[in-house]
Amino acid sequence: MSAPMLNVARLSAGYGRVTVLDGISVAAGANGNVGLFGPNGHGKTTLLRAISGLLKPRAGAVEFEGENITGMSPRAIVDRGLIHVPQGNTLFPDLTIADCLALGAYTPRARAAEEANREKVLALFPKLRARWRQRVRTLSGGERQMVSIGTALMSHPKLLILDEPTLGLAPKIKDELCKAVFDISKSGVPLIVVEQDVEFLLELTNHLYFINHGQVETEIKPGESLAHSDIMAMYFGH
């Protein structure tokens, strides 16, 4: 078993006087994909934001490829290849698809692979080619999510974090997105995924953390199996 790329140790974070994460520890990027699941509002997004530098942790450490990246700027973290696709629509509405993808490749290491990555993104999401000069504000929710993931791929990820990639999408477009996420994984990019769709998560990941009250309540390690019904029991507390 290889060493994890990402190690989060005893991390605490919150907002103002509210502590959301209280000494949480997770690891990812060793063998396969990691899934985070649990009830709404218990800190999954906060954990991802603290990992990618969008929120300064109050205590604990984040280590990526052996380097302590705790408290580094998001830009410095992106530069190291740890890329986070936040939940919801965070794209600039007046940019075109072409602009967004070009922005994704702004770091020197990503620029070096810009052309090859653009072709990969367009092979993954052929719809984007036909809408190349269309502004984000005129795209559907599914197309925006494709642009968000595509922009992250342009940053040449070593480890890719996806926060609820299929949230709010109609079934057909959701299937397209799920297939694309599998293809990204097959291409060799390890993933950390927060997702409410348990079937999707069980198929995609082999290492799961059940996050409850800002802590890991249950960890399901690679090789340990878990039935859908067990996961449902965790969600509903029986």
Q: Which residues bind ligand ATP (CB under 6 A)?
A: 15, 18, 20, 40-46, 87
C-beta of 87 vs 215, nearer to ligand ATP: 87
Q: Which of 130, 169, 126 is nearest to 150 (CA)?
A: 126
The tokens for 25 are 């520890």
**Separation CA 40–CA 46 (nearest Å):** 11
C-beta of 45 vs 205, nearer to ligand ATP: 45
Q: Which of 35, 41, 69, 66 is nearest to 53 (CA)?
A: 69
CB of 218 to ligand ATP, least distance (A): 15
C-beta of 163 vs 176, nearer to ligand ATP: 163
Query: Do the beta carbons of residue 190 and residue 33 sit within 8 Å?
Result: yes
The tokens for 55 are 């929120």
Residues 6+ apart with CB under 8 A from 40: none
CB of 106 to ligand ATP, least distance (A): 25
CB of 126 to ligand ATP, least distance (A): 30
> ∠ CA 178-87-189 to the nearest 5 degrees?
50
C-beta of 100 vs 216, nearer to ligand ATP: 216
CB of 45 to ligand ATP, least distance (A): 3
**Separation CA 105–CA 72 (nearest Å):** 20
C-beta of 96 vs 148, nearer to ligand ATP: 148
CB of 34 to ligand ATP, least distance (A): 15
